[in-house]
Amino acid sequence: MHLDILVENFKKKDEKAFEALYNMYKDSMLGVIYNIVRDHDIAEEVMQDVFIKAWHKSDTYSNQKGRFFTWILNISRNAAIDKTRSKNFKNSKQNLDSNFFVDILETSENLNDSTDAIGISQYVGKLAKKCIEVIELLYFKGYTQNEASETLDMPIGTIKTRNRNCIKELRNMVLN
């Protein structure tokens, strides 16, 4: 598989493979980070550090442990959350917890100016609130099933199936 070969070469410190992976995931990571830090410049800075970090610890990744996307998603979320906990950041930013990723999609000036993103925002806005909540927590915030279950006050099994249905809906919206 193309992606597998890229990741293999990336682990061998192949700069071209790294660049290809960067281009595949940079916008996604920037979106996740921005959703947490809510500042474009800071988000870009964190995203940059994420990919630098990924390069340095590329040998710790193994495809048996999970998807490459999941791996770098994890690094991004952790880096973004670390950033919000830093002293400087706390001084400049107020409470961020109440915002969901949908807010970003609804405010057009924050949007990635590709028509793709605009199209997606139209659909995603139609996602049920319960879907938005669960997607926000599991993908954007990196909550575990348990944490999500506690936060949303619903059984773990329900989180799993609801998420399944919500992602199905999302796939219908963005992949077709």
Partner 1 sequence: MDINAYIESGILELYVAGTLSEKENEEVYALMQKHPEILQEVLDIEAAIVKLTAATSQGSDNAVYQNIKQKLGFDDSDTQVIPINKPKNNWISYSGWAAAFVLGVGLLWLINQNNQLKSSIQTAETQQLLLETQIENSKSNLEEAHTLISVLRDDNIARIPLNGQGNFSNTYAKVYWDKNAKRIFLDAQGLPEPPEGKVYQVWSLKLSPLTPTSLGTIDSFKTDSNKIFEIQNSHESEAFGITLEPAGGSKTPTMEQLYTLGVVNAT
Q: Pick from 6, 80, 124, 131 the residue near partner 1 by CB under 8 A.
A: 124
Q: Which is nearer to partner 1, 70 or 87 (CB)?
A: 70
Q: Pick from 20, 81, 120, 152 the residue near partner 1 by CB under 8 A.
A: 120
Q: Pick from 6, 7, 21, 29 the residue near partner 1 by CB under 8 A.
A: 29
Binding mask of the shown chain, residues 30 to 69, with x at each position contacting partner 1 by CB under 8 A: xxx-xx----x--xx--xx--xx--x-------xxxxx-x
Span near partner 1 by CB under 8 A; candidates 80-88, 90-98, 105-113: 105-113
Q: What is the DSSP string of the chain?
A: -HHHHHHHHHHTT-HHHHHHHHHHHHHHHHHHHHHHH--HHHHHHHHHHHHHHHHHTGGG--TTT--HHHHHHHHHHHHHHHHHHSHHHHHH----TT--HHHHHHSGGGS-SSHHHHHHHHHHTTS-HHHHHHHIIIIIS---HHHHHHHHTS-HHHHHHHHHHHHHHHHHHHT-
